Structure 1
Amino acid sequence: MCSYCGCESVTVVGRFMAEHVDIINACGDLRRACAGADAQVTSRAVGRLQDLLQPHTSAEEAGMFTVLAEDPEFTEHVRSLCAEHAMLDALLAEIGQGRTATMPAFERALRVHIDREENGLFPAAAIAFAGPEWDRVVALTPPAAAPAPA
């Protein structure tokens, strides 16, 4: 996770980065569940990860991504990150349908995606945005979801 530029001190960015930690931890639980080959345990792990991932990606897209995409410099990058959100959802759904061989591809894609946000988009937003843009991001970003049970 990024820690070099201080962008995590921006409240909404700090929230998204903390959610990334929870998502990665739940991904580890899912990887272990898939390796254990217990369908019920895997299903619960998929559900927990979906409960973390869906509100997180929705919040990113509704707030920060919306405001960033208004700048032509960021439009295509934001579009590609949104496409990655959809791809991650599809891969996770495959795992939820019992295709656990998809797990390595899902985890790799998730980690690359988070790296692109934390080491690319978030620092860029911290540089590009002044007060008014952050105010809009905060106004458009839904509140954090209640933590999902472990």
Structure 2
Amino acid sequence: MCSYCGCRSIGVIGRFSTEHDELINVTGLLRRAVGADRRDEVVALVDDVARLLRPHTDAEEVGLFAVLRRDEDFTGHIDTLCGEHVGLDDLLARIRAGESHLVDRFDAELRSHIQREENGLFPASLTTLGGAEWDEVDELTAAAVPVSPLRSA
């Protein structure tokens, strides 16, 4: 994960980065359960990943992505990232339905997606957004439902 530009010091970026870390950790548990052919554990862990992933992607899309999308330089990239969110959800559903062989693909696509956010979009947002826009990102993100289970109450 990114640690060179300081973007994690921005509250919402720090939150998203922390959620990325947790998603990678739970996906590792899922991969191990698939490798050991523990089907009940696989289903439970897919559900755990989904409980983390969906609120995270929803919050990104209604906050940071919505504000950055106004800049035409970011529109195509944001659309691609949103499409990847849908693809990750679809892969998880297929794994839960029994296509456990897709777990490596899910892991690779999740890591690639996170890489593009952490080493591309997040640092770029530091130089693109101003104070009022960050306030708007914070307001929109806070209003996102459902709230991430990683967020402090």
Supply the RMSD in Å over aligned alpha carbons.
Answer: 1.2
Instruction: Show the counterpart of 2:56.
Output: 56
Is the contact between residue 81 and residue 113 of structure 2 (CA under 8 Å) also seen in structure 1? yes
1:20 aligns with 2:20: yes
In structure 1, the gaps of 5 or more residues are none
Instruction: Show the counterpart of 2:130.
Output: 130
Partner amino acid for 1:145? S
Partner amino acid for 2:67? V
Partner amino acid for 1:86? V
SS in 2 for 1:141: helix
Using structure 1 for the length normalisation, give the TM-score.
0.95
Is the contact between residue 57 and residue 85 of structure 1 (CA under 8 Å) also seen in structure 2? yes
* Cα deviation 1:22-71 (Å, max 9, x = unaligned): 00000001101111112111000100000000000000001000000010
User: What is the identity percentage for the equivalent residue pairs of Structure 1 and Structure 2?
Assistant: 47
Instruction: Show the counterpart of 2:149.
Output: 146
How far apart, CA to CA, are the structure 1 residues paired with 2:34 and 2:127?
40
SS in 1 for 2:2: coil
Instruction: Show the counterpart of 1:81.
Output: 81
What is the number of equivalent residue pairs in this alignment? 148
SS in 1 for 2:28: helix
Instruction: Show the counterpart of 1:95.
Output: 95
Instruction: Show the counterpart of 1:69.
Output: 69
Is the contact between residue 62 and residue 142 of structure 1 (CA under 8 Å) also seen in structure 2? no
Is the contact between residue 63 and residue 138 of structure 2 (CA under 8 Å) also seen in structure 1? yes
Partner amino acid for 2:135? D
1:118 aligns with 2:118: yes
